[in-house]
Amino acid sequence: MGTAVDAANKVVNESLPSEKKVTVIFVLGGPGSGKGTQCANIVENYGYTHLSAGDLLRAEIKSGSENGTMIQNMIKEGKIVPSEVTIKLLERAIQENGNDKFLIDGFPRNEENRAAFESVTGIVPEFVLFFDCPEEEMERRLLNRNQGRDDDNIETIRKRFNVYMESSLPVIEYYNAKGKVRKINAAKPVEEVFEDVKAVFIPLHEKVVYSFGRIL
């Protein structure tokens, strides 16, 4: 027989939302490699929800949050915002969304991002989709992006490339050593890159019909 306290705890526990079980794919690659562009294609075809860490940080600046000025300064300098800020935004976006499949774009960008996300959320990515692109091509794309971003100028772009080489590539290496990286040649036209992306996603989503032990 349980006590009254046990009974009360049971009521509380049952009214709390249970831990949401989610599938996460990290989408990584240098600035301008085409992460956002290809995520839009994946969303359209495979029903994932796209969460761009950069977009969430820019929305946080616009919302007038107390961290806004700090985030704005770091983005202008091409620096990586402290993990606790970015992870809170990602966690909130995951919890608020009805979907259970997410593309997390532009995160983790350094070892601190990676380790903190894993320990705070307990989420381990299914795999890492890595867009590999030469720096000259990424630079060309960023200088032509025309989205009015204050980090798409040559001075900040150079800083972002340095941060990518020093801090982000080691994260990709970390997952590569675990066999979790799906590397895509991103130095091709958008449609051709997407053909290669599809080759990664099709096996995950095709419906296989079995009949009497045979695949139809």
Ligand X SMILES: Nc1ncnc2c1ncn2[C@@H]1O[C@H](COP(=O)(O)OP(=O)(O)O)[C@@H](O)[C@H]1O
Ligand Y SMILES: Nc1ccn([C@@H]2O[C@H](COP(=O)(O)OP(=O)(O)O)[C@@H](O)[C@H]2O)c(=O)n1
Positions touching ligand Y (CB under 6 A) are 31-32, 35-36, 52-54, 57, 74-75, 78-81, 86, 106-107, 109, 113, 151, 160
Pick between residue 10 and residue 158 the one whose CB is nearest to ligand X: 158
Q: Could you give the CA distance from residue 166 to residue 137 in angstroms, rounded to a whole number?
A: 19
141 near ligand X (CB under 6 A): yes
- Residue 53 partner contact from ligand Y, Mg ion, ligand X, none using kind-dependent CB cut-offs of 5 to 8 Å: ligand Y
190's contact among ligand Y, Mg ion, ligand X, none, with CB below 5 to 8 A by partner kind, is: ligand X
Q: Is 188 annotated to bind ligand?
A: yes
DSSP secondary structure of the chain: ---HHHHHHHHHHHHSPPPPP-EEEEEEESTTSSHHHHHHHHHHHH-PEEEEHHHHHHHHHHTT-TTHHHHHHHHHTTPPPPHHHHHHHHHHHHHH-S-SEEEEET---SHHHHHHHHHHH----SEEEEEE--HHHHHHHHHT--S--TT-SHHHHHHHHHHIIIIIHHHHHHHHHTT-EEEEE-SS-HHHHHHHHHHHHHHHHPPP-EETTEE-
Candidates 37, 41, 65, 167; binder of ligand X (CB under 6 A) is 37
Smallest gap from residue 111 Cβ to ligand Y (A): 12
State which of residues 36, 70, 132, 187 lies at the interface with Mg ion (CB under 5 A). 36
| In the complex, minimum distance from the CB of residue 7 to ligand Y, in angstroms, rounded to a whole number | 44
Considering the rule CB under 6 A, would residue 29 count as an interface residue with ligand X?
Answer: yes
* Residue 197 interacting entry, from Mg ion, ligand Y, ligand X, none, C-beta within 5 to 8 Å by type: none
Annotated ligand binding at 159? The verdict is no
Q: Nearest CA to 125 among 5, 194, 24?
A: 24
Peptide bond into 108 cis (omega under 30): yes
Question: Out of 64, 122, 189, 213, which residue is the one contacting ligand X (CB under 6 A)?
Answer: 189
Residues belonging to the binding site for ATP are 32-37, 145, 188
Interface ranges with ligand X (CB under 6 A) = 29, 31-37, 141, 144-145, 188-190, 193
Residues belonging to the binding site are 32-37, 58, 79-81, 106-109, 113, 145, 149, 160, 188
Residues belonging to the binding site for CMP are 113
